[in-house]
Amino acid sequence: MRSRWTTVTVFVLSAFIILIAVGQVFFAGGERLKYETAYIYSMEEEIPFDGVYLRDETLIYGSGTGILSYEHEDGSRVGKSSVIAGRYRSESEIDYRREIEELKEQIEVLKRAEELIGTDNSQLEAISGQINEQHSALISCITGGDYTAASALHNGLLEVMCKREITLQESTGYSEKIAALQSRISELEGLISGDVQWIYAGGSGYFVSKVDGYEGELGFSDIDKLSEQRIKDILAVPEKNGGDAVGKLISDYIWRVAAVIETERMFGIYEGSSVTLRVGSDSSLLEAKVVSVENCGNGNSIYVFECDRLTSAVVQGRTAHFKLVVNSYGGLRVSRGAIRYNGDGERGVYIVRGTSLAFKKINVLYWGEDYVICSQETGDEYLKLYDRIVTEGKNLYEGRVVE
- pLDDT tens digits for the chain (403 residues)? 445 554 545 444 454 444 444 444 444 444 588 999 999 998 878 899 999 999 999 999 887 778 888 888 888 899 888 898 988 888 888 888 888 888 998 888 888 888 877 777 777 778 888 888 878 887 877 877 776 677 777 778 888 888 888 788 787 888 888 999 999 999 988 888 767 888 888 889 999 988 999 998 999 989 888 999 999 999 999 998 877 888 999 999 999 999 999 999 998 899 999 999 999 888 788 999 999 999 999 999 999 999 999 887 888 889 999 999 988 888 999 999 999 999 899 999 999 998 899 999 999 998 988 999 999 999 999 999 999 999 998 889 999 998 7
Rounded distance, CA 375 to CA 40, Å?
A: 10
Second-level CATH architecture of 47-60+204-328: Beta Barrel (2.40)
Q: Does domain 34-42+330-392 have CATH number 3.40.50.300?
A: no
> pTM score > 0.85 for this model?
no
Q: Where are the domains of the chain?
A: 34-42+330-392, 47-60+204-328, 90-194
CA geometry: angle 84, 87, 93, nearest 5 deg: 115
| CA nearest neighbour of 327 among 268, 389, 378 | 268
Q: How far apart are CA 210 and CA 345, in angstroms?
A: 62
For residues 40 and 385, the answer to whether their CB atoms sit within 8 Å is: yes
Check: CB of residue 370 under 8 Å from CB of residue 336: yes
Phi, psi (deg, nearest 5) at residue 261:
-135, 145
